[in-house]
Structure 1
Amino acid sequence: MDTFKLTTGISPTYKITKVNFEEKTLKEEPYVKKQVNKVSYYAVCPECDNPIQIVGLQKNTIESGSNPYGRHNKGDVTDLALYSEIDYLECPFSNPSWTKKPGKRSSKSPLANKMLLNMRNYFDCAIKLLQEMTGLKISRNLAKQLLENYLLDEGWLYRQATLNNIPWILGESSPAIPLFGQYIYKNSALFHSIQDKCADIVLEPAGFSEDLVQIRNKPGQFIKLEFIFCNHQQNIKGESMQEMIDFWVFRKGNTESDGTIFRKTIPIEANDFIDLIQEVGSEHRDEKLLAVAKELTENYM
């Protein structure tokens, strides 16, 4: 792998370079450990939260040439990360021929439990990121519906779920949801697409915000628009992973070309979620959404 992070849990991901490693770790314990005949360099895998060893940091290797890389460390690293075989086997970087297996990961997975905990703790941030990337205003009722679906389908046990893609698994775990009555952001790509392709839809200005419009039917018309998150892909290329998911709005029961109203492939970047969490900070949290998350997840923790 070509990225690392400094701590387990939701934390920033960095490209593995000599400069990055030295500046971020300050070459201190537990990242640098002296052994009998060598010095070893450690960090945390951004995908599975297991400890990794940084190889080739100070010298070229046969495997990586002049580029250092991360390799899973099959054992705990004191004061850094505990090793989980369950999560290692699910990690896209566990072997060069990794493919996603069918079914779900074990409920004993430490990583899965961390994802559920962070869904509860940062539910408001997950909703905010979904809004920013889709153009859909997610009301408290819609947010609750998404979380109920996530819990019902055990989204934290999806094999492709990671701490980085928590918002997208929240969306992916829901079946099709009607758009009628929902609000969307004016001048978003979603707004313009619905405006151009749906003559039987009225986009009514929201009385409480100049930035929003509500999706309504024209008098005498009846149309059903729905949305889903789908086509979630994780592709390993060399030492890197590329991840993406589709946000799709369509006429109910019609997914042919004339039934698709809007479809956007959204790249999932490792730091999108943590960046937003840090941007929101501790003073601008949505306490009502957090209360919803606390109530709904109580029986799952």
Structure 2
Amino acid sequence: MNVFAINKGVALELSVDEFEKQTYHMYPYYIKRKGKGLSLHAICPECGNPIQIVNMYGAEMMQKVTRKVVLYAKHAGRPVEGFPYWNEHEMKNCSLYKPSRLGNIEIRKNTKESEKIKNIIETKWRKIKQDIREITGINLKNSVMQHMYEVFMESKAYNYKAVNAYNIPYAMLRYQDAISIYGVFLFNSPMSRIVKDEINKNSRYFVIQGNRIRKKVNGFHKIGIYFTKYQNVKNKQYIHMVVYETNSSGRKAVIFKQKIEMKPWIYA
């Protein structure tokens, strides 16, 4: 996982600076174990069980050189000194413990967590919309976003075990039908440059002019996006955005695919 907590239910994005800021290098977050050096811990923001922080200072040193060492957290799987709460049942039902693939429709047993996710979507929808636009690099229309909201909520996708409180924008894009992007403007985010370059380079029927997606040839052509292929590789999570087009006969072709590293989205 890429989040941690000092208090259950209050998630923080995991980084060296944030962890040190919250813990002050103090016990029980920093424990010196005989012959084993420092052991770093916090709690899971969802289930409240102790978690272990892995590669905290290895990541700090190596990222500047190779960027191959990944800082992450995982459930300790046992009681930990200094952390009074330990509940194996809660841990095994936590969506952050051995997370399901985004795309899986297995129903979560913890209905309280599902209601929490539903409430976040209902109350933080305006912010979630902007985060979805940032992820895609496309300023999706409000009508399109409303359709996405209705599809996700009416299918009760917030009950899926793969959906947690920190991957909501990705989940809403993954559990969705194809999204039309014809006529919309780009959104000011790092992804928008990729979208612009790839569409202008690879599309037969569309072009981006003045940061807007337009047709470059006459005909009943369509352009859209969908999200697919979740991956968990070396404790990093990825999802793929596919941009496609269809010609007037309905024949589809992929314009480009983009692998996106998933970050935690925290809605306080």
With structure 2 as the length reference, what TM-score do the two structures score? 0.67
2:139: which partner in 1? 137
1:85: which partner in 2? 89
CA deviation digits over 1:94-140, x for unaligned, max 9?
Answer: 5xxx8659542236432222211112222222222222232110221
CA deviation digits over 1:240-270, x for unaligned, max 9?
Answer: x311111111124656xxx211221110123
Amino acid at match of 1:176: A
Q: Distance in 1 between matches of 2:53 and 2:205?
A: 60
Residues 219 and 23 of structure 1, relative CA distance in 2, 3 Å threshold: closer
Q: Distance in 2 between matches of 1:268 and 1:126?
A: 15
Residues 104 and 192 of structure 1, relative CA distance in 2, 3 Å threshold: same
CA deviation digits over 1:60-99, x for unaligned, max 9?
Answer: xxxxxxxx9741468xx77xx89583662354545xxx86
Q: What does 1:12-51 align with in structure 2 at a 5 Å threshold?
A: 12-14=12-14, 24-25=22-23, 43-46=42-45, 48-51=46-49
Among 209, 231, 234, which residue is 1:233 paired with?
231
SS of equivalent to 1:136:
coil
1:71: which partner in 2? 76
1:283: which partner in 2? none
1:149: which partner in 2? 151
2:167: which partner in 1? 165
Q: Distance in 2 between matches of 1:201 and 1:2?
A: 38
Report the Cα offset of residue 172 of structure 1.
0.8
Q: Distance in 2 between matches of 1:125 and 1:242?
A: 24
How many pairs were matched up?
Answer: 233
Q: What does 1:1-301 align with in structure 2 at a 5 Å threshold?
A: 4-9=4-9, 11-14=11-14, 24-25=22-23, 43-46=42-45, 48-52=46-50, 70-72=75-77, 85=89, 88-89=92-93, 91=95, 93=97, 103-106=105-108, 108-185=110-187, 188-201=193-206, 203=208, 205=210, 212-213=211-212, 215-218=213-216, 220-235=218-233, 237=234, 241-252=235-246, 259-270=253-264, 273-274=265-266
CA contact (8 A) 2:50 2:86 kept: no
Unaligned runs of 5+ in 1: 33-40, 57-67, 206-211, 279-301
2:66: which partner in 1? none
Q: Distance in 2 between matches of 1:190 and 1:55?
A: 35
RMSD between aligned alpha carbons? 4.1
CA contact (8 A) 2:208 2:214 kept: yes
Residues 103 and 84 of structure 1, relative CA distance in 2, 3 Å threshold: farther
Residues 166 and 30 of structure 1, relative CA distance in 2, 3 Å threshold: farther
Amino acid at match of 2:89: E
SS of equivalent to 1:229:
strand
CA contact (8 A) 2:95 2:163 kept: no
SS of equivalent to 1:234:
strand
